[in-house]
Structure 1
Amino acid sequence: MDDETVAPRVLDNKRDASKYRVLVEIAARQPAVSQGEVAEVLGVTSQAVSDYVRELVERGYVEKEGRGRYEVTKEGVDWLITRTDALSEFVSHVSDDVLGSVDVDAAITTGDVSEGDEVGLAMRDGVLHALPEGGSATAVVVTGGAAGEVVGVTEFEGVVEYDPGVVTVIPVPAITEGEPPSAEVITSRLDENDLLAVAGTEAYACSVTAGLEPDIQFGTVDGVPQAALRGLDVVLLVSTDELSRHTTQLREKGVRYEVPDPLTVPDPMADTT
């Protein structure tokens, strides 16, 4: 984020801000512009507006076409756009980075809590939980509830400790390109706590043949990385024509993934150290 975004020049002082607002009012009212009406909207004197208009004319941002008639020039429009873009980025920064830090998040409470209680935070099964007994990461309850209910928490401190998940990618050849992995290969890679995701028709058919019900079937490009980033291990059956899209997204999100090679049943007696 550049300096213009953090502190737009139009906000540097009152005069720059007023000049910006005067130009906006002229653009909205042109060509017939009443300086008195502009002054009333801005809460300044007519003389102040007159001074601002004169400066805008001198800078080439406004063209005077007669008594009380003004037009914003191309240069004036460009100036407004750059300042407005900077303001928009600044507002987004304030909203996302500043006010976002005081947002209220939802969590499942593991016990009865009341408004104002301090609770610990933990990630369980990919879902944020509030722990009445506390923890290394803490928050303050803003809406209470009983065990198992959703509560609102804010004023976060510390880091929620959990290990990101790993994605095991099992490619499934296109219908004309070869045999799909066997049911034994798939189930041998699927731990009872893993999620199964399928992407593509061949991958879905492969899961059906193996007698497996997918946990994630649609939106897998985004859903699989999100699940892993929340601490869940995922086995991804993916048709080869969808493979690069998924692995690219996993890399961009910083998610650890592996593609077993060759696709065989692991030997339980093999040394994995």
Structure 2
Amino acid sequence: MERLQEALSRARDKRQESGTAVPRTPAEKARAVTPPTSATPAVPSNASYAWQSLPQFMPNEKLLKNNRVVSYFGGHAAQPFDMMRTKLLQQTKANNWKRVAVTSPTAKCGKSTVTANLAFSLARQSELRVLVIEIDMRRPEIANILGIKENLAFERVLSGQEPAEAHMVAYGNNLAFGTNRVPSANSSEILHSAFAREQLIAVEKKFEPDLVLFDAPPILASDDTIGFLDFVDSAILVAAAEMTSIDEVDITETEIATATNVMGVVLNKTRYSKSTYGYDQSYY
């Protein structure tokens, strides 16, 4: 038996030298160990690298509470924005929409606060990637509301002066803000240019967001938003209780409808809202 194994071994060596495969003996097959196979690791996409390149922003929780950005914390106080999030996602998925403007008839309606709350509510769904782009360049508020200290000027991205990542910050892995620390002197000309739209399309290609929220200027305050609405898929109109008139809502809705879809109207700054569904905090 030993001589037979030696003969087989010598024959195998000769065949290996000639490049011919040699069958193994049963004993050798038993001793052979097949290395474990593993799934090919997923290669991060270019968009993943783009998100990772953004500087991280850690909000000041006290400031967010003072500025009524309640959806950052979740819980009962965030429920109105979570409901808004759900309705928004239902409509965007049903209609294949991605770009949503948040605007108002006039100033001081709280549209930037609504945008920030909606953004953090969306970000709590980890499978979504959300970009918030501030195009209200006459009176930018997002950075002040959130406490972003970086000297961001997203208008420089729209005008092609600097890359997007130079004027954006990220919160986690799926929410990013492109804001402006100071007002712009020529916001209308920037927003209405074809070049700015090309820049926004390039940002979308780079970061591949599921949803882009545009914090847009008030409709009745200037022509900034009116000339931009045809770029978005739909718009949310924020009205302020005891401040915005019915006529202002009607006029603004008509202006939006001539250029894009009206997703809905949000009544903001209500001092008291009685539950009509029989649910209160103790229910949960």
Report if TM-score (shorter chain) is over 0.5: no
Which TM-score applies when normalising by structure 1? 0.26
Q: Higher strand fraction: Structure 1 or Structure 2?
A: 1
Specify which structure has the bigger relative contact order, considering alpha-carbon pairs within 8 angstroms and separated by 6 or more residues: 2
Report the TM-score when normalising by structure 2. 0.26
